[in-house]
Structure 1
Amino acid sequence: MTLIFDSKLLKIESFLLIKVPLDISKELSSRGLVMVKGTINDVDFKKTLEPDGKGSHWLEVDPLLYEKIGVEIGETISLRIEQTNEWIEPKVPEDMIHAIAQADVEDQWRSITVRSRWEWIRWVRSTKNINTRNKRIEVACSKLQKGDKNPCCFDASRCTVTEVSKSGVLVD
Structure 2
Amino acid sequence: MTTIEVKCRFEAKLLRPAKPGNDKSWAFVVLPRDASEQLPRRGRTTVEGTLNGHPFQATLEPDGQLSHWLQVSRELLEAAGSVVGDIVTLELTPVKKEPEPDIPADFKEALAAAPEAHKVWNNTTTLARLDWIHWITSAKQLKTRAKRIDDACDMLASGKKKVCCFDPSGYYSKAFRAPEAENS
TM surpasses 0.5:
yes
Say which one has the larger Rg.
2
* Identity rate, percent: 37
* Structure 2: distance between partners of 1:123 and 1:58: 18
1:72-151 equivalences under 5 Å are 72-104=83-115, 105-151=117-163
RMSD: 2.2
* Gap change, CA 1:66 and 1:107, over 3 Å in 2: farther
TM score, norm. by length of structure 1: 0.83
Report the equivalent of 1:163.
Answer: none
Report the equivalent of 1:57.
Answer: 68
Query: Aligned partner of 1:2: which letter?
Result: K
* Gap change, CA 1:61 and 1:106, over 3 Å in 2: farther
Aligned residues: 166
TM score, norm. by length of structure 2: 0.78
- The C-alpha deviation readout for 1:21-56, integer Å capped at 9, x for no partner, is 112112223322223222112222222221100121
Higher relative contact order (CA 8 A, sep 6+): 2
Which range is displaced more, 138-147 or 24-33? 24-33
Tell me if structure 1 keeps the 8 A contact 2:14–2:27: yes
Query: Which is strand-richer, 1 or 2?
Result: 1
Which secondary structure state, in structure 2, belongs to the residue aligned with residue 170 of structure 1? Answer: coil
* Structure 1: distance between partners of 2:132 and 2:67: 21
Report the equivalent of 1:7.
Answer: 12
Report the equivalent of 2:41.
Answer: 30
> Does 1:157 find its partner at 2:169?
yes
